[in-house]
Structure 1
Amino acid sequence: MSFVSEQTGSGGLNEYIQHHLHQNTIEVFGGGFHIDTWAVSLVLGLFFIAWFAFFARKASSGVPGKGQAFVEMILEFIDGQVKDSFHGDRRSITPLALTIFMWVVLMNAMDLLPLDAPYTAVKLAAGAEVAHSTYFRWVPTADLNTTLGLSVVVFFLILYHSVKAKGGFGFGKELMTAPFHAHNPVVKTLLVPANFGLNLIEYLVKPVSLAMRLFGNMYGGELVFMLIAGLLGGSLLMFVPGVLFNTAWAIFHILIVLLQAFIFMILTVVYIAGAYESH
């Protein structure tokens, strides 16, 4: 029996994809809570903290080792990008950008792991019957809940920095009086709904676009891996072509993994920098 049909029975490619898109979900406060997404995100976040904390404690002024040099290279790269986009005090912005970039990279990179590894592990440990009913999605950024959660945090950070830069009164005034300015009090009052509506749309579009861009790219990449595995993994004859196609897509997907993390990070910095500018 082929590897794909072992998981899906007679359902074919459609059942195979549905199996891999299924989340382990529990009900929390009346809504679905994706355990897979939460667990993988938490582990990767803790891994990032432990990784950088380890080399931060070992940092020395002498010739750094390979591990320390790699961490310093990432820090310098992120700090350089922040410096180019944000011209104020970046002591809190650079750590934020570093956290976003590394966390998103790690979550995206889970897409490069073998798609059927969880099934195989459960099958070896507990048998095929248990494996058939076991679901595990380990790409958190292919879950819209993850990308929306990240973008909502960015949204509140933008609001925080807007109020910090302009004050509560100044921020509220800008919402009502920009981008359409008028000196006549009557005209200025008439323009308030339009100004407020446009500013509201502008603020809401930023987190939505951040979330959908990252989710769309990672979900699409995940589906391509599933299609390759489902179409080319059905027999031993197609094993070698399947490996070649998966490898080719994985190499290309590395660029997507890094690029999407960079875009999410740099747009966050740009949006925060924009909070300090006036219309």
Structure 2
Amino acid sequence: MAATGDVLTSQGYISHHLTHLQVGSGFWALNIDSLLVSVVLGILFLWLFHSVATRATSGVPGKLQCAVELLVGFVDGAVKDVFHGKSKLVAPLALTIFVWVFLMNAMDLLPVDLIPYGAQLLGVPYLRVVPSADVNITMSMAFGVFFLIIYFSIKEKGVSGFVKELTLQPLNHWTLIPVNLVLETVSLIAKPISLGLRLFGNMYAGEMIFILIAGLLPWWSQWALNVPWAIFHILIITLQAFIFMILSVVYLSMASEEH
């Protein structure tokens, strides 16, 4: 697939599929494709769950209602096992994270050229459809969790308690405040960085493998590798959504507890 209608080399094909549709340049560039797809998937999640909730019946549930109820029960059970504080925000947040990240990851299962080629016919030269393979998206979500960690810490312990946690832990002596501050700050900042980069790395690698298969193999032989990798990738996209959700809940639980 080429924006100009010319046949691309394998290297050009891969490069084309890894290029974002952007507005702006440098630090201020916005990846429009990642933002658009993530927002559409978020709206899809809200519409689907709201539709099921408004049509829920106490009788024999339909397949969709049953699936949603099982998912809600699963997430609720995981939150109760991990989060030991009291907050009405955490369970809905965990459900949102899991479903939204899963939907973004699941875009990787679509044929590599399906949506980008359709967009190209409409005059859109580049379109990446896996938002979680964009480090800007994953780090944005991770820093959203980071700000919630700060909020929960200050809410439960107060500003003075939060400052004491950074300066008097783990070595409880005033002379070691600089050491504690460095250790706790690094530990605090490492949480969102590891959270976002873990999801990005796994999904980028999965997307790259699909692109390599499509770009390097003849079309008639691609199914031999695509099908087994897609089946295995279903486990990866589900596991990565669960890990992102459960670590977010763990970090919020830690922020809500006293040492």
Instruction: List alignment gaps of at least 5 residues for structure 1.
Output: 183-187, 234-238
After superposition, residues 188-207 of structure 1 pair within 5 angstroms as: 188=174, 190-207=175-192
Alpha-carbon distance, 1:209 to partner: 0.1
Cα pair 1:142 1:219 within 8 Å, conserved = yes
CA distance in 1, matches of 2:41, 2:6: 33
CA distance in 2, matches of 1:263, 1:15: 34
The counterpart of 2:15, out of the listed 15, 18, 21, is 18
After superposition, residues 122-271 of structure 1 pair within 5 angstroms as: 122=119, 125=121, 134-182=125-173, 188=174, 190-233=175-218, 239-271=219-251
CA distance in 2, matches of 1:157, 1:5: 43
The counterpart of 2:103, out of the listed 102, 106, 121, is 106
In the alignment, structure 1 residue 40 sits paired with structure 2 residue 37: yes
CA distance in 2, matches of 1:73, 1:119: 34
CA distance in 1, matches of 2:134, 2:24: 17
Alpha-carbon distance, 1:84 to partner: 0.6
RMSD: 2.0
Q: How many residues in Structure 1 have an aligned counterpart in Structure 2?
A: 259
Alignment-mate amino acid for residue 81 of structure 2: D
Cα pair 1:109 1:257 within 8 Å, conserved = yes
Cα pair 1:8 1:15 within 8 Å, conserved = no
Report the CA distance shift for 1:114/1:11 in structure 2 as closer, same or farther (over 3 A).
closer
Task: Tell me which moved more, 22-31 or 66-75.
Answer: 22-31
Instruction: List alignment gaps of at least 5 residues for structure 2.
Output: none
Cα pair 1:25 1:34 within 8 Å, conserved = yes
In the alignment, structure 1 residue 70 sits paired with structure 2 residue 70: no
CA distance in 1, matches of 2:4, 2:35: 25
Alpha-carbon distance, 1:241 to partner: 2.0
TM-score normalised per structure 1: 0.88
Alpha-carbon distance, 1:276 to partner: 2.0
Aligned-residue sequence identity (percent) comes to: 48
Task: Tell me which moved more, 190-199 or 97-106.
Answer: 190-199
CA distance in 2, matches of 1:10, 1:240: 18
